[in-house]
């Protein structure tokens, strides 16, 4: 179970089915702290993750049918250390085939958990996952071919924090749930009974799933959290299927210290960050500056008028208040990591990818046949071809730097590559924002070329290739994905 310190709505069945507008007027519930499994001091057992059917109340007063990983919704936060090898036993008890992919980890294709590593219902998958990379915030989620969107939305996702000697020694807040918070941001829709609803239609395929209600760590926002005086660290994952989130603080700036694959060279102060689905950022707040503060999200509004005019709406996610307790008293560090600017001239070859929205197939018909809508008949693709399990699209040489250039025929898409961290050379034809100049495994693609400098340290053979894909999960399921080997 999530530690849900919820205090409201128990008796207000009449208010079920309200959207976040009405929720916003209710007394604030506490931010749930996702249970932590801290392995940084050593691993003396196999690590069991049980993928299960569960019931979870997001805050409507009614339980929704969910998937959970050891919990009623989502998985534990796993905190591990560089150099360890994680001996997982992953049991699938969800009543459907699934997979569990380690998003952000630099690991061999054989243990990557992509669509080729299916776990049948009732089976246990036991990969030994080597953690060789630097400190970084990663995550894990279902990657079942054609079912990633639905299974991840229902709860098959969790956070994996990698620490290293330097990050454990760093002069940064690191007391979990006190001055170091992991935030999993998602959007949901709730039906008139207060239950989570996810229905695919042609439109949902087109835009990806966009829910009208935000949830943080499995609880409907806005939530409240009290903070000690001093620096506080927020490790943030956008785990939405399709929604881009612009995050900002009510008062003052956000100081970004890390992106997907690790620390930035030095902190970057910004008024907001734009996070695509799948992205992670770590930020520092100084609670000595403002006694109360709110983490806000600005995102596309729903409904007819908003659809016509593309209107945005700002919603409070977490209302923070500062207590008199002294917390982490240090200052924001000036230097975080040794990170040279990317050297494009190191690249030995260039590959081009165009993400295709329009492959001339009927999305609504696919939606009706949605149980296996992807399969061999994808409606979207990359370089004119929908994903095919038995076709390898690219063969990459291990350890050789390459430039991957990505463009789109329509819309804004978040592009992700397995098995690596890369550096962004350009995003939408321009230099990336300073907070995206560090290690990344996600890049935004809308106009012009987005270019990344990438190399791979592990092998991915033909029977366990890596994936590259759009991280709008409905697009991925619809065929906007390709496969590559590394040898």
Name the site residues for Cu ion (rule: CB under 5 A): 103, 413, 418, 470, 472, 475
* C-beta of 80 vs 442, nearer to Cu ion: 442
The b/e string for 431-470 (b: 16+ C-beta within 10 A; e otherwise) is ebbebbbbbbbbbbbeeebbbbbbbbebebeeebbbbbbb
From the list Cu ion, ligand C2O, none, which binds 188 (C-beta under 5 to 8 Å, kind-based)? Answer: none
DSSP β-bridge partners for residue 124:
91
* C-beta of 62 vs 111, nearer to ligand C2O: 111
* C-beta of 116 vs 188, nearer to ligand C2O: 116
* C-beta of 15 vs 411, nearer to Cu ion: 411
CB of residue 238 vs ligand C2O: minimum separation in angstroms?
Answer: 11
DSSP assignment of 271-326 equals S-EEE-TT-EEEEEEETTT-SEEEEEEEEEPPSHHHHHHT-EEEEEEEEEEEEEEE
Residue 363 is inside which H or E element, if any? helix 363-368
CB of residue 473 vs Cu ion: minimum separation in angstroms?
Answer: 9
From the list ligand C2O, Cu ion, none, which binds 444 (C-beta under 5 to 8 Å, kind-based)? Answer: none
Q: Which two tokens stand for residue 391?
A: 């076709």
Residue 168 is inside which H or E element, if any? helix 165-169
From the list Cu ion, ligand C2O, none, which binds 106 (C-beta under 5 to 8 Å, kind-based)? Answer: none
Residue 22 is inside which H or E element, if any? helix 20-23
Cα dihedral 260, 458, 161, 88, rounded to 10, equals 140
* C-beta of 94 vs 240, nearer to ligand C2O: 240
Structural contact between residues 137 and 280, judged by C-beta atoms closer than 8 angstroms: yes
CB of residue 48 vs ligand C2O: minimum separation in angstroms?
Answer: 22
* C-beta of 117 vs 225, nearer to ligand C2O: 117
- Longest CA–CA separation in the chain, Å: 64
CB of residue 97 vs ligand C2O: minimum separation in angstroms?
Answer: 17
CB of residue 444 vs ligand C2O: minimum separation in angstroms?
Answer: 15
| Residue number, nearest CB to ligand C2O | 103
From the list ligand C2O, Cu ion, none, which binds 227 (C-beta under 5 to 8 Å, kind-based)? Answer: none
331: CB partners within 8 A, 6+ apart? 231
How many C-beta atoms surround the C-beta of residue 404 within 10 A?
A: 24
CB of residue 441 vs ligand C2O: minimum separation in angstroms?
Answer: 8
CB of residue 141 vs ligand C2O: minimum separation in angstroms?
Answer: 6
CB of residue 208 vs Cu ion: minimum separation in angstroms?
Answer: 7
From the list ligand C2O, Cu ion, none, which binds 143 (C-beta under 5 to 8 Å, kind-based)? Answer: ligand C2O
Q: Which residues lie near ligand C2O (CB under 6 A)?
A: 101, 103, 141, 143, 278, 416, 418, 467, 469, 471
* C-beta of 88 vs 468, nearer to ligand C2O: 468
* C-beta of 56 vs 145, nearer to ligand C2O: 145
3-state secondary structure of 108: coil
From the list Cu ion, ligand C2O, none, which binds 470 (C-beta under 5 to 8 Å, kind-based)? Answer: Cu ion
DSSP at 65: E
Structural contact between residues 52 and 158, judged by C-beta atoms closer than 8 angstroms: no
């Amino acid at each position: 179970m999530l530690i849900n310190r919820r205090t409201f709505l128990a008796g207000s069945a009449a208010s079920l089915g309200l959207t976040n507008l009405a929720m916003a007027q209710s007394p604030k519930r506490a931010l749930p702290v996702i249970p932590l499994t801290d392995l940084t001091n050593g691993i003396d057992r196999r690590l069991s993750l049980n993928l299960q059917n569960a019931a979870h109340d997001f805050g409507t007063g009614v339980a929704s049918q969910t998937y959970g990983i050891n919990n009623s919704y989502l998985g534990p936060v796993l905190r591990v250390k560089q150099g360890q090898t994680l001996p997982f036993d992953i049991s699938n008890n969800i009543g459907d085939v699934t997979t569990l992919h380690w998003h952000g980890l630099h690991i061999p294709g054989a243990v990557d958990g992509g669509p080729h590593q299916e776990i049948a219902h009732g089976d246990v998958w036991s990969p030994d996952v080597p953690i060789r990379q630097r400190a970084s915030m990663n995550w894990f989620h279902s990657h079942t071919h054609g079912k990633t969107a639905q299974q991840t939305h229902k709860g098959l996702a969790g956070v994996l924090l990698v620490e290293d000697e330097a990050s454990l020694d760093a002069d940064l807040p690191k007391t979990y749930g006190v001055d170091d918070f992991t935030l999993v941001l998602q959007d949901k829709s709730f039906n008139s009974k207060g239950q989570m609803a996810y229905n695919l239609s042609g439109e949902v395929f087109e835009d990806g799933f966009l829910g009208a209600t935000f949830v943080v760590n499995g609880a409907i926002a806005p939530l409240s959290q009290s903070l000690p005086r001093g620096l506080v660290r927020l490790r943030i994952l956008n785990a939405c299927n399709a929604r881009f989130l612009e995050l900002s603080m009510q008062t003052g700036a956000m100081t970004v210290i890390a992106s997907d694959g690790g620390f930035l060279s030095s902190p970057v102060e910004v008024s907001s960050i734009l996070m695509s689905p799948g992205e992670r950022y770590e930020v520092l707040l100084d609670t000595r500056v403002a006694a109360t503060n709110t983490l806000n999200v600005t995102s596309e509004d729903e409904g007819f008028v908003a659809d016509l005019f593309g209107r945005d709406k700002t919603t409070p996610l977490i209302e923070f208040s500062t207590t008199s307790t002294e917390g982490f008293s240090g200052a924001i560090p000036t230097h975080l990591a040794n990170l040279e600017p990317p050297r494009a001239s190191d690249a030995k070859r260039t590959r081009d990818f165009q993400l295709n929205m329009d492959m001339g197939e009927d999305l609504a018909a696919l939606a009706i046949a949605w149980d296996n809508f992807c399969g061999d008949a994808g409606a979207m693709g990359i370089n004119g071809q929908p994903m095919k399990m038995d076709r390898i699209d690219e063969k990459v040489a291990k350890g050789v730097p390459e430039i991957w250039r990505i463009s789109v025929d329509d819309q804004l898409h978040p592009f992700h590559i397995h098995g690596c961290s890369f550096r962004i050379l350009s995003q939408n034809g321009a230099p990336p924002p300073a907070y995206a100049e560090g290690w990344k495994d996600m890049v935004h693609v809308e106009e012009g070329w987005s270019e990344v400098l990438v190399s791979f340290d592990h092998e991915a053979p033909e029977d366990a290739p890596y994936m590259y894909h759009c991280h709008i999960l409905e697009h991925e399921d619809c065929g906007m994905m390709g496969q590559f080997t590394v040898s």
